[in-house]
Structure 1
């Protein structure tokens, strides 16, 4: 069997998308197009795109600015928060620099307090995210989405109509459908591509500002993968891994590398940059656009929700659909909600699904790569 040879340039283009987008972002600003930056999968981007704004993800995944952040923030805080704040404070993130407003959300205590400090040097709009998925919580979240719309209207002196929002919902649903078709190629066994190449497209797509162009581009990649798979181009048979836990990207890609360089293949991602953010569409038949958006976003199965059945429901489906042999959970140090939830995930994977599970706790340094390789190699050999 042969590994795909002709697609890497496409995957690299997506991998470089974040860097390439720095220039594209400046061009947008020169044209007077508003830019809205955000840090979380709960961000209802359709409201911003409905007014013609570009949206961009600001989460930073490098330890480059953590020392700067630790001048203000505790050392024993989650590296994602410290990195995000450090890049903002040190002005080392072009996306943050060009954002007219940054949208935060009350997901965890660390981020909530970090946004307070960030608001001292940037316009920050904080959305009050409930920590449950009850009907009462839905009412609050819907009112927050409406409050966000009204904030944008006032700040940018525009009117955002419900028709504008419907159009934005339709366009973003098309993007989700295409990305879902793309990650579903990994249902093939053996896998057609590596999980790292799959991740490059999923992560890189968030930095393409012309959302309407994404479906055709991604559909073209899917067609090429399927055609080459039919011709026999695929990976050798490997243990099939589901990666779950904290957001992956940048420095934490070391976990994907540890899995794939030691004989496994990541066939599906349950975390924020994977299925969690793409799996469900906004209901376009719902006459109330704010209710439709509120229901879709509040249903995301993040560990900040109590209880969190939607994460287990998604894990359940992914393990079956992708014929998963083992689950690797990556948690970041001091990410309390995900670290506490590892017990429930381990029980679910071991007892309900009957497959092996391992949790690796890490940060954004490269100091633990040797240990990561040792632990993951032993886990893969057990499979």
Structure 2
């Protein structure tokens, strides 16, 4: 029995969370709650939360406004950058509209230059993210976090206390623990739900603004899923896929759909919005909480890092723990860091004796037929 039949209202609720949160955002603004929007997993949201602000992700996942963006941006640019800029400049993203400050970061070149253009019509603050994970880089990143704290205090005329920072750290650690416990149900074989359902919860949870309630909701969902799994007939076993690479929310989920409609199941996501976002916790007992925050975020294994050893460590661990049959790397067109790193990831994965395939796509639906053909062939080969 597929859990999508047993728990449709829960999965649908999380899948629609981003849309449902538009009204919540308006209500928060009516109460003068500060809103900080951001585009990256490296954003240290605990600092903003410590001053009572709500944080929200702004990356756009549809090609709807790309034609608008291409009036200012080159066509051969990452679709995520173009879509995000398009929704911002056309005022079609309520989250962007209601954000008092948009926080950017110096990850990829496309986003860095996008922030310059955004700064002409929005209050944009850019954090200088080091592109390595050395001790020197950690010092620089801690300084950037402290500068960001000072900027918020000056902009909003508030004092961000260490006590409130530690409370925010604890709250977000609890969120990460709950989400990690949830996706670890996919270690079961057969899996208790499909990968699309899992991602809906992981992605949708980002748009639950009352972070204190999220762990309880996620834990209750996990218990319900496992109760259904233990009491009902199991789904048939399928080839177990690890999806890695660029963010897969929105239009890129067509890759997951192509896999799961052709005999496989995505049991793990090593990308933004997946395990990468919740795998590491902040050391709550650290004497220097700001250094602990900096260390946790800097250790995220993104392809903008050189070298990027933490990404390989995480992929290797997921392959083993989730009994992965095949790795699919999904990259977006013109995402240079991930596309270049794909060759090294292929070598690493195949070195562990696991089949690997790399697919490059964009936000359009034009390559769905080709994706289905390639994913069917890959799954049949496993």
- Normalising by structure 2, what TM-score? 0.99
1:107 maps onto 2:107 in alignment: yes
Q: What is the alpha-carbon root mean square deviation over aligned residues?
A: 0.6
Indicate if the aligned counterparts of 1:142 and 1:291 stay in contact, CA closer than 8 A: yes
Matched with 2:362 is 363
Alpha-carbon shift at residue 287 of structure 1 (Å): 1.2
1:298 maps onto 2:298 in alignment: yes
Matched with 1:376 is 375
Aligned-partner SS, 1:211: coil
Matched with 2:257 is 257
Which stretches in structure 2 are left out of the alignment for 5+ residues? none
- The Cα offsets for residues 320-349 of structure 1, whole Å up to 9 and x where unpaired, read as 000000000000000000000000100000
Give the alignment of 1:113-192 within 5 angstroms.
Answer: 113-192=113-192
Matched with 2:349 is 349
Alpha-carbon shift at residue 233 of structure 1 (Å): 3.9
Alpha-carbon shift at residue 8 of structure 1 (Å): 1.8
Matched with 2:81 is 81
Aligned-partner SS, 1:185: helix
Alpha-carbon shift at residue 235 of structure 1 (Å): 2.0
Aligned-partner SS, 1:210: coil
Q: Whole-Å Cα distance in 2 between the matches of residues 60 and 54 of structure 1? A: 18
Alpha-carbon shift at residue 228 of structure 1 (Å): 1.3
Indicate if the aligned counterparts of 1:192 and 1:233 stay in contact, CA closer than 8 A: no
Q: Whole-Å Cα distance in 1 between the matches of residues 209 and 182 of structure 2? A: 19
Q: Whole-Å Cα distance in 2 between the matches of residues 15 and 193 of structure 1? A: 14
Q: Whole-Å Cα distance in 1 between the matches of residues 121 and 230 of structure 2? A: 54
Matched with 1:51 is 51
1:6 maps onto 2:6 in alignment: yes
Q: Whole-Å Cα distance in 2 between the matches of residues 113 and 214 of structure 1? A: 34
- The Cα offsets for residues 24-71 of structure 1, whole Å up to 9 and x where unpaired, read as 000000000000000000000000000000000000011000000000
Q: Whole-Å Cα distance in 2 between the matches of residues 24 and 236 of structure 1? A: 39
Matched with 1:225 is 225
- The Cα offsets for residues 233-283 of structure 1, whole Å up to 9 and x where unpaired, read as 432100000000001111111011001011100000000110000000001
Alpha-carbon shift at residue 310 of structure 1 (Å): 0.1
Alpha-carbon shift at residue 9 of structure 1 (Å): 1.1
Q: Whole-Å Cα distance in 1 between the matches of residues 234 and 358 of structure 2? A: 29
222-231 or 294-303: bigger deviation: 222-231
Indicate if the aligned counterparts of 1:194 and 1:235 stay in contact, CA closer than 8 A: no
- The Cα offsets for residues 153-175 of structure 1, whole Å up to 9 and x where unpaired, read as 00000000011100000000000
Alpha-carbon shift at residue 225 of structure 1 (Å): 1.1
Matched with 1:271 is 271
- The Cα offsets for residues 278-309 of structure 1, whole Å up to 9 and x where unpaired, read as 00000111111110000000000000000000
- Normalising by structure 1, what TM-score? 0.99
Q: Whole-Å Cα distance in 2 between the matches of residues 254 and 234 of structure 1? A: 25
Matched with 1:242 is 242
Indicate if the aligned counterparts of 1:193 and 1:234 stay in contact, CA closer than 8 A: no
- The Cα offsets for residues 97-140 of structure 1, whole Å up to 9 and x where unpaired, read as 00000000000111100100000000000000000000000000
Aligned-partner SS, 1:155: helix
- The Cα offsets for residues 166-220 of structure 1, whole Å up to 9 and x where unpaired, read as 0000000000000000000000000100000000000000001000110010000
Q: Whole-Å Cα distance in 1 between the matches of residues 234 and 125 of structure 2? A: 46
Matched with 2:31 is 31
Indicate if the aligned counterparts of 1:173 and 1:281 stay in contact, CA closer than 8 A: yes
Which stretches in structure 1 are left out of the alignment for 5+ residues? none
Q: Whole-Å Cα distance in 1 between the matches of residues 172 and 263 of structure 2? A: 36
Aligned-partner SS, 2:6: coil
Matched with 2:67 is 67
Aligned-partner SS, 1:340: helix
